[in-house]
Amino acid sequence: QKEVEQNSGPLSVPEGAIASLNCTYSDRGSQSFFWYRQYSGKSPELIMSIYSNGDKEDGRFTAQLNKASQYVSLLIRDSQPSDSATYLCAVNLRNQGGKLIFGQGTELSVKP
């Protein structure tokens, strides 16, 4: 089992719809969870961080964390073509210092 798993996609949604990106992780003691957006040919850009169970909202983005199910998700409301990118889930595992374990990323395509 991979430490952090994401569906590779591509996930295609129409403009204005809600995009839902999912991530599961293997270490129950993980304490920090991050979503990065990566445009083609660019470096990862931090868009959300979440540390406790529940929802965290920032503009059109909502991160959801369920530690019991070892599941973290990212919802993008009112999706725009400019949201088309690869979304990387990253987890800071227990006793790993600052090391982030990344999933392989989910490619999102928002169609006008």
Is residue 61 within 8 Å of 48, Cβ to Cβ? yes
Instruction: Restricting to residues 38-77, name those near other proteins by CB under 8 A.
Output: 42-46, 49, 51-52
Q: Return the closest-CA partner of residue 100 out of 19, 23, 11.
A: 23
Distance CA 72, CA 65 (A): 5
Distance CA 42, CA 52 (A): 29
Instruction: Restricting to residues 75-104, name those near other proteins by CB under 8 A.
Output: 88, 90, 92, 96-100, 102-104
Distance in Å, CB of 104 to other proteins, minimum: 5
Q: Which residues contact other proteins (rule: CB under 8 A)? A: 4, 31-32, 34, 36, 42-46, 49, 51-52, 88, 90, 92, 96-100, 102-105
